[in-house]
């Protein structure tokens, strides 16, 4: 047992090597742009039911600028930004289409939209909406997630997290001024 310090050193080295291998081989959490469309890419397609049961597709907005917001009724930041998005849809009417795509059940979405008098189109789904937001560049699947698309169908801006008036209005003003 004279060699116990050597055995301890070898064991510590082996443990350290194992931890290092595990650390460097772990999957990296996804983020915006690592999966799906990025700024400068053509917007992916989608087809989802609206709260009134009509289906809308991305192609329904061909030739029109579009602000797409992925959200859910159970998401507090999503709920906070909805009045702003409603104001934006009214302020930029004729220049920009705003649509919301909820990862949620239709019942709570209808109640929430009616309570806030949201006037822009709201689409609803579950796994299909999650797949759409991944295709649109939100690999993390976090909410809210907002994307600006120009009239040519090119993604011009992506934002993960609650969007504020101070963040969104300059983006829209710059983008509209350049078009």
Q: For 31-40, what is each residue's pLDDT tens digit?
A: 454 579 999 9
- The whole-number pLDDT of residue 55 equals 95
3 in a structural domain: no
For all residues of the chain together, what is the average pLDDT?
Answer: 85
Report d(CA 63, CA 49) in Å as an integer: 21
152 in a structural domain: yes
68 in a structural domain: yes
Report residue 22's pLDDT band, with 50, 70 and 90 as the boundaries: very low
CB of 39 closer than 8 Å to CB of 138: no
26 in a structural domain: no
- The whole-number pLDDT of residue 30 equals 39
113 in a structural domain: yes
**Structural domain total, the chain:** 1
Residues 6+ apart with CB under 8 A from 41: 137, 154, 155
- Residues spanned by the domain of 143: 47-177
Q: What is the pTM of this model?
A: 0.80
6 in a structural domain: no
Residues 6+ apart with CB under 8 A from 70: 100, 101, 102, 103, 129, 132, 133, 136, 138, 143, 144, 145, 146
- Specify the 3-state DSSP secondary structure of 146: strand
Q: Tens digit of pLDDT for each residue in 123-156?
A: 999 889 999 999 999 988 899 999 999 999 999 9
Report d(CA 74, CA 77) in Å as an integer: 9
Report d(CA 122, CA 137) in Å as an integer: 20
Report d(CA 121, CA 67) in Å as an integer: 11
The CATH number for 152's domain is: 3.40.30.10
- The whole-number pLDDT of residue 8 equals 52
81 in a structural domain: yes
Q: Tens digit of pLDDT for each residue in 97-118?
A: 999 999 999 999 999 999 999 9
């Amino acid at each position: 047992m004279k060699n116990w310090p050597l055995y301890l050193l070898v064991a510590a080295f082996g443990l350290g090597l194992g931890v290092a291998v595990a650390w460097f081989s772990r999957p990296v959490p996804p983020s915006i742009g690592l999966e799906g469309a990025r700024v400068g890419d053509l917007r992916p397609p989608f087809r989802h039911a609206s709260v009134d049961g009509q289906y809308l597709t991305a192609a329904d907005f061909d030739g029109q600028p579009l602000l797409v917001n992925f959200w859910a009724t159970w998401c507090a930041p999503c709920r906070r930004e909805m009045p702003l998005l409603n104001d934006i849809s009214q302020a930029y009417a004729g220049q920009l289409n705003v649509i919301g795509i909820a990862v949620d059940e239709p019942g709570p979405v209808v109640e929430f939209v009616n309570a806030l008098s949201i006037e822009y189109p709201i689409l609803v789904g579950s796994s299909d909406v999650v797949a759409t937001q991944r295709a649109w560049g939100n690999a993390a699947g976090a909410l809210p997630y907002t994307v600006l698309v120009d009239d040519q169908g090119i993604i011009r801006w992506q934002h993960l997290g609650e969007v504020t008036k101070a963040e969104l209005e300059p983006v829209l003003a710059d983008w509209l001024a350049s078009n």
